[in-house]
Structure 1
Amino acid sequence: MNKTVEILADQPALVKRALELILSKLETAIEQRGQFTIALSGGSTPKPLYEAIANQKLPWDKIHVFWGDERYVAPDHPDSNELMARRAWLDKVAIPAANIHAMPTSSANPVVDAAKHEQHLQEFFHVAPGIFPSLDVVLLGMGDDAHTASLFPHTEALKVRDRLVTVGNKDNNLRITFTYPFINAARNVIFLVAGANKRPALGQIFAPSADDFAYPSRLIKPQGELYWLLDTPAGLELKL
């Protein structure tokens, strides 16, 4: 794992740098493998990034979009990560519908839908069960409790090491989430973290030792590149 930490002036600078990184990784992936795979995060921080990507002239037919996690709500629900990304980006460009790999949330059973999505991923990447394929980019945010995707402190999802997808739990609100070993199989993981409220969690993430199950973002140690992009309010007190 190669880790890079960058502290940017503000959120627009954060978005600009994230866009640069993604476009660079996209170009390399398409050149080397003929396609680019990216997993999106939810929350407010990446929304302007998605809007910026929508303004690019890109080979949309070679781009495949996934999500690192999803709330267990309908795709048209205001809380849906899929809906946010569609409105900010995907509905504005000519990306084939088959290239959008949303997490299913319609069976009324998140365990069933998590297994269904895992099977879809295995078929897409042509891997057998137990094999972790490599996404080109996984975008992640981080909550002020140090959770990432829907991997929350002291929850069962943190113990899942043999699957790609599992059920996350936030105060009994169920989610579907990538597991941390699947995230760690990525070629590039990019954290986008903004706001002074993230400082205490970041202090624990970057501490020489701390409880991984109390601060789940510590578990993210990809085989490829790891980028922490922080705005100044978030990164101000960080001792690197």
Structure 2
Amino acid sequence: MSRELVVHADREALVAETADRFARTVDAVLREQDECHVALTGGSVGTELLGALRGRSLDWSRIHCWWGDERFVPAADGDRNALQAREALLDHVDVPAANVHELPASDAGLDLDAAAQAATAELGDRVLDLVLLGMGPDAHVASLFPGHDGTDAQGVGVIAVRDSPKPPPERLSLTFDALNRARRVWLVVAGDDKASALALAMSTADRHEVPAAGVHGTRETRYLVDRAAASLLPDGMLD
């Protein structure tokens, strides 16, 4: 599967144009099938993108929302991706509660391993229509970090992550297995602090050392970036 690079003038353009692209893509999916299943992402750019989607006309009654990863903290903790998504978008659109598939919080009565098992069971063998991912300066995606055991996980959809190099230390993450059976995977990346990681991600780097290099969709893989993030890419890649 080939990868497409789309470079936007700046962060503001990246967010606005990706929101438009999201709306067009989801509309197209819903013309072909009854439901559209998307995985949302956290982070500053991801949250800005969700906020931009509030202004787009979408049939949220037919959209199911999942997450690529989650911090294993209490449900009301501001670090939770799901809470940020609710505040930015989901509390402002008519999405049914049954369509929102949050990963378990630490106060849901399950320990980390049981939470991963429950999330794996809920996800099952579902093929997500669209996965949104951010990327860290270390090239991690979801909560799959360079050199961590999670990059080797097979046969499960969601794993428990301990000793994360980025706080909080305990997290839940979709695996490469779950991410890479998605039809469409978009990495949304902004800022010159991500430039080195993006250059590695678009190379032939090993996914254990550069997790962002190991994610792809079965139909499309897109790197949606701003000019700052693309600043270290070779000229031939920008043509």
The TM-score normalised by the length of structure 2 is: 0.92
C-alpha separation in 1, matches of 2:143 and 2:161: 5
2:27 partner letter: E
Counterpart of 2:208 in structure 1: which amino acid? F
Tell whether the 8 Å contact from 1:185 to 1:224 is kept in structure 2 after alignment. Answer: no
Shift of 1:231: 0.6
Q: Which residue of 2 aligns with 1:126?
A: none
Moved over 4 A (4+): none
| TM score, norm. by length of structure 1 | 0.92
Q: What RMSD in Å do the two structures reach over aligned CA positions?
A: 1.3
C-alpha distance in structure 1 between counterparts of 2:215 and 2:43, whole Å: 19
Q: Does 1:152 align with 2:148?
A: no
Cα offset, 1:108, TM superposition: 4.6
Deviations 1:104-158 (A, max 9, x none): 1223511101110111122xxxxxxxxx431111000000000000000111111
> SS of 1:177's equivalent?
strand
Q: Which runs of 5+ in 1 are unaligned?
A: 123-131
Instruction: Report the CA distance between 1:57 and its aligned residue.
Output: 2.6
State the one-letter code of the partner of 1:238: L
Q: Structure 1 pair 2/24, CA: closer, same or farther in 2 (3 Å)? A: farther
Residue identity opposite 1:118 in structure 2: T
Give aligned pairs, total: 230
CA distance in 1, matches of 2:151, 2:207: 9
- Aligned pair 1:216/2:200, yes or no? no
Q: Is the 8 A contact 1:40 1:139 kept in 2?
A: yes
Give, in whole Å, the separation in 2 of the partners of 1:83 and 1:63: 18
Quickly say closer, same or farther: Cα 1:56–1:221, change in 2 above 3 A: closer
Separation in 2, partners of 1:23, 1:57: 8
> Would you say 1:139 and 2:132 are equivalent positions?
yes
Contact 2:161–2:171 under 8 Å retained in 1: yes
Contact 2:133 2:142 in 1 (8 A): yes
Contact persistence 2:27–2:58 (CA under 8 A)? no
Distance 2:54 2:20 in 1: 14
State the match for 1:129 in structure 2.
none
